[in-house]
Structure 1
Amino acid sequence: MSLTKRLALLLALVCTPAAMAQTFTFTAIPDEDESQLRTRFEKVAEYLEQELGVKVKYVPVKSYSAAVTAFRNNQVQLAWFGGLSGVQARRLVPGSEAIAQGYEDQFFKSYFIAHASTEIVPGESFPNINGYTFTFGAKNSTSGRLMPQFFIERNLGKNTKDVFKRIGYSGDHSRTIAQVQAGVYQVGAVNYKVWETAVANGKVDLDKVAVIWQSPAYPDYQWTIRGDVNSAFGAEFAAKVESALIGMTDKDLLNSFPRESFVPADNRDYEPIEDVAKAIGLID
């Protein structure tokens, strides 16, 4: 082969869209222990890299708002958001789409938990939590703040600031469990999946803290992708990402979320979350 042909072949190889594209990056809301998240999502990165044929990197963030900001600024092209953070991100990045959700995310729940000293008896009816100290999770958490606040105000007929003696924001569901168990707060609201996993792993002392109420179902977590990924990574790239996520079958990887599987999602699925956020004043 002549030198000219060799150079032409080399240029063809290095100038393919995949070679020219940047690393495909993604993040996730920090809704529980950081080490657990890193273990989970670095395995997701390995899986996506194999399925998509491009380099994939997980970018951890310190807060829900940082996840939304990274998505808005194109520091990441894909994110594992909660219902509210996904709505916020898609409003900031026109053309972005919710593409997959956990099977369970179609009918997610919040648990209200209480320290044993409250002597609140669990039941189907909404508990009398007036006058206690209460902690939400992160301020932009769907299952740890948005929907619990909605259910409190709907059932008690007044603003949360008029219900509790003191209100806190733990930052994530694992810390909410720890704070209520330790008696730092008497009552709190958590993601039911994080609670059930913590109980299964022996990280909850059920003599000190218990579930006192579970909420009605609502849509929650989802994978959201930017609308401009096809121009950066090639035609139909977004569809390939969606197919890879829905096609995830590794039981260990799914259990780390924990989810039974991932199923298709779209922006319309989260209109109820947007409506509630508007109703209680978290978004305009």
Structure 2
Amino acid sequence: MFNRLLALILSLVILGGLSHVLAQEKPKPFIFTAIPDQDVTRLQKRFGKVAQYLSDTLGVEVKYIPVKSYSDAVEAFKNNKVQLAWFGGLSGVQARSAEPGAKAITQGEEDADFITYFIANTGTGLKPSKDFPHGIEGMTFTFGSKHSTSGRLMPEYFIRKTLGKPPVEVFQRVGFGGDHSKTLDLVQSGKYQIGAINYKVWENEQKAGKVDDSKVQVIWKTPGYPNYNWTIRGDVNNTWGEGFTDKVQQAFLNMRDPELLATFPRKRFIKADNAMYEPILETAREIGILQQ
């Protein structure tokens, strides 16, 4: 009787110890976020699918958490609340500057030569032009987020470069809509006469039937510049094992599901590195968004 009781106790101790070890060995979830450049509901749907794809591919639990603003995405990355993020060119530069060791690992094929559309309410009488539309001076203008590459940084750069003065001296009124979908709404409704919008969002909104050609049109397309990227923290290998950064990069390079890629929308992902975004860094410093 005593021997059986002793054996039972030993079994419970061993099982308890094993459970404790297994609990300790179970890796914590790998968490990512994305800049809120579109309607939050659509982002949740897109990145929920990305989380499932990464979970299946990497063999670890992957979670997506939404953020309310571009700066929130950068702060979450800086404070290790997320280890991976889908940034724009500017927010990516800001995040990597705040977290030494962080790396841009992939970008969409289209992101190497991204463009911004200047859109105008048709009531302005402005027409599409290959050259910078000087007729926008004195009108009302809305950017997207203050931290957006395509919705603020590069449009402001081209305005300053062409007209030789900042937007507040060019336009009657300047606003910041927050995201690209909102920019479309503001210009299409006439609340602002002109706006700067990510060309991919414009194409998506057209496909969704949300662009009324009788009320709004593209009047100018900027020259190309580097933009969106997946950026990962430099310390992830310490938690998820040697080579984990390379595995995450490869997971995006191997993403082939047309439906999943279409939600970005991108044809495919290609390799990226921090050096590609030096022009963004230099421009942000030039117009005072980032300190030297």
In 2, Cα distance between equivalents of 1:67 and 1:265: 20
Match of 1:186 in 2: 193
For normalisation by structure 1, the TM-score amounts to: 0.95
The reply to whether residue 279 of structure 1 matches residue 261 of structure 2 is no
| Matched position secondary structure for 1:30 | coil
Match of 1:265 in 2: 272
**1:74-99 CA deviation, whole Å, 9 max, x = no partner?**
00000000000000000000100000
- Which of 216, 220, 223 is equivalent to 1:216? 223
- Which of 89, 95, 98 is equivalent to 2:101? 95
- Which of 207, 226, 229 is equivalent to 2:233? 226
Post-superposition offset of 1:12: 6.0
**1:172-213 CA deviation, whole Å, 9 max, x = no partner?**
000000100000000000000000111122110011000000
Match of 2:253 in 1: 246
Match of 1:45 in 2: 51
Q: What is the Cα-based RMSD across aligned positions, in Å?
A: 1.6
The reply to whether residue 201 of structure 1 matches residue 208 of structure 2 is yes
Q: Identity across aligned pairs (percent)?
A: 55
In 2, Cα distance between equivalents of 1:9 and 1:71: 34
What does 1:1-284 align with in structure 2 at a 5 Å threshold?
A: 3=11, 13-16=22-25, 19=26, 21-128=27-134, 129-284=136-291
Post-superposition offset of 1:245: 1.1
| Matched position secondary structure for 2:219 | strand
Moved more, 137-146 or 119-128: 119-128
| Matched position secondary structure for 1:88 | helix
- Counterpart residue identity of residue 126, structure 1: F
In 2, Cα distance between equivalents of 1:182 and 1:75: 38
In 2, Cα distance between equivalents of 1:177 and 1:96: 33
Post-superposition offset of 1:5: 7.6
| Matched position secondary structure for 2:174 | strand
**Between Structure 1 and Structure 2, how many residues are aligned?**
281
For normalisation by structure 2, the TM-score amounts to: 0.93
In 2, Cα distance between equivalents of 1:180 and 1:41: 28
In 1, Cα distance between equivalents of 2:205 and 2:75: 29
Post-superposition offset of 1:6: 6.5
- Quick check: which has more Rg, 1 or 2? 2
In 2, Cα distance between equivalents of 1:209 and 1:105: 25
